[in-house]
A = this chain, B = another copy of it.
Amino acid sequence: MPTSFPTGLATIHGAAEFLSERVAALTDNGFKIDVYAGGELVPPLGVLESAQTGTVECGFTAGFYYIGKMPALVFDTGVPFGMTPRMHTAWMRTGGGLELMRELYSEFNVVQFPAGATGAQMGGWFRKPIDTVEDLKGLRIRAAGYLGNIYADLGAVPQQIPGSDLYSAMERGTLDAVEFVGPYDDEKLGFNKVAKYYYSPGVLELNASIAFLANADAYADLPDSYKAALQSACAETNSNMLATYDTLNVPALRRLVASGIELRSWSDEIMDAMKASSEKLLAAQAAEDPLFKRVHTEWKSYLDEQLLWSSVNDGAAQSYLMNNRG
């Protein structure tokens, strides 16, 4: 099972190892899944194609890496101003999302299981304060995939740079800002030494859902109990990865703040502009892509219902607690 991730992303790559261990435990070691980090066996962004052609039996990746092949796959991972991990899981398990995603992936001859969640990623590291949309103009920012489109729409110049080269690009000054993941992963790359301002909240990425993809023919050949093992192990991995991030991110954030960086919240102007840009881009894609439109409509309907419920109950209760900490 190749992943799209370097071992340095210990929580995401570690989730692939966790999944493999759980499947082995569930099957008395009968079903062994060998994990290969991004690039070891196939290129990091070649995981879908490798599983599709049967070069590998399965892979551990994220749908939004393949929006060049099918834009609607972005909904499998996460969309700016989109679902929290809880909403995404609810959509997948009981809201029709899984059936829809499996329909999309069936075009690639693979079967998908949600198998990981990052939670909200941070807004990123900036060398200068970003107070207004004007401050984004011309900004060279590393913003992967779909997020880059929004930054471009707002006048920034998104860069696609591998994670391993980000620190030196920031240090040399060929890059002005970097959106990577969150405190635990960001700290390891040392961004606090090359950028002072760390922005939140991660409205552009409230979650990234990780996908386990099995070649459909290989999957069909599995005994029923092995199929069941994949389903339950992926569900457990999904919970465990988010839990791992939640536990590790807090002390990492404390260390980063103690190192002298400045934690800042996006202004309403910035968030409003990002939201407007995101909606414009989604509408534009939907206008030219009927499949994207269908998925977007279902996704948006579920999101709106969950935001309503959250604003009445769970989210409102959580807001009270956040505003009255201690």
Q: A201-B317, A315-B322 are in contact. Are A87 and B26 (CB under 8 A)?
A: no
Q: Verify if A164 is at the interface (C-beta below 8 Å from B).
A: no
Let me know if B236 and A314 touch, CB within 8 A. Answer: no
Q: Verify if A161 is at the interface (C-beta below 8 Å from B).
A: no
Would you list which residues of chain A between 242 and 268 have a CB under 8 Å from chain B?
242-244, 246-251, 253, 263, 265
Residue ID in chain B nearest A28 by CB atoms: B225
Find chain B residues with CB under 8 A from A28 CB: 223-225
Would you list which residues of chain A between 74 and 102 have a CB under 8 Å from chain B?
81, 84-87, 89-90, 92-95
Could you say which of B26, B93, B305 contacts A240, with CB atoms under 8 Å apart?
A: B93
Let me know if A206 and B314 touch, CB within 8 A. Answer: yes
Let me know if A305 and B89 touch, CB within 8 A. Answer: no
Q: Complex formed: what's the CA distance from A90 to B119 in Å?
A: 12
Would you list which residues of chain A between 216 and 252 have a CB under 8 Å from chain B?
223-225, 228-229, 231-233, 235-236, 238-240, 242-244, 246-251
How far is the CB of A86 from the nearest CB of chain B, in Å? 6
Could you say which of B95, B247, B275, B315 contacts A319, with CB atoms under 8 Å apart?
A: B315
How far is the CB of A203 from the nearest CB of chain B, in Å? 5
How far is the CB of A254 from the nearest CB of chain B, in Å? 9
What is the total number of copies of this protein in its complex? 2
Q: Complex formed: what's the CA distance from A125 to B228 in Å?
A: 41
Give the A interface residue count (CB, 8 A): 76
Let me know if B120 and A317 touch, CB within 8 A. Answer: yes
How far is the CB of A265 from the nearest CB of chain B, in Å? 7
Find chain B residues with CB under 8 A from A85 CB: 86
Q: A26-B225, A90-B242, A242-B90 are in contact. Are A312 and B253 (CB under 8 A)?
A: yes
Would you list which residues of chain A between 296 and 323 have a CB under 8 Å from chain B?
304-323
Could you say which of B203, B308, B310, B322 contacts A311, with CB atoms under 8 Å apart?
A: B322
Most chain B CB within a 10 A radius of its CB, from A90, A182, A202, A305: A90
Let me know if B309 and A246 touch, CB within 8 A. Answer: yes
Find chain B residues with CB under 8 A from A225 CB: 25-28
Let me know if B324 and A310 touch, CB within 8 A. Answer: no
Let me know if A308 and B325 touch, CB within 8 A. Answer: yes
Q: A89-B243, A229-B26, A239-B238 are in contact. Are A206 and B317 (CB under 8 A)?
A: yes
Residues of A within 8 A of B (CB): 22, 25-28, 81, 84-87, 89-90, 92-95, 119-120, 122, 182, 200-203, 206, 223-225, 228-229, 231-233, 235-236, 238-240, 242-244, 246-251, 253, 263, 265, 271-272, 275, 304-326
Chain A to chain B: the 3 pairs with minimum beta-carbon distance, closest first:
A201-B316, A201-B317, A25-B228
14 interchain pairs (CB within 8 A)?
A84-B318, A85-B86, A90-B243, A93-B244, A94-B240, A120-B313, A122-B313, A200-B312, A239-B239, A250-B305, A250-B306, A307-B322, A310-B318, A311-B323
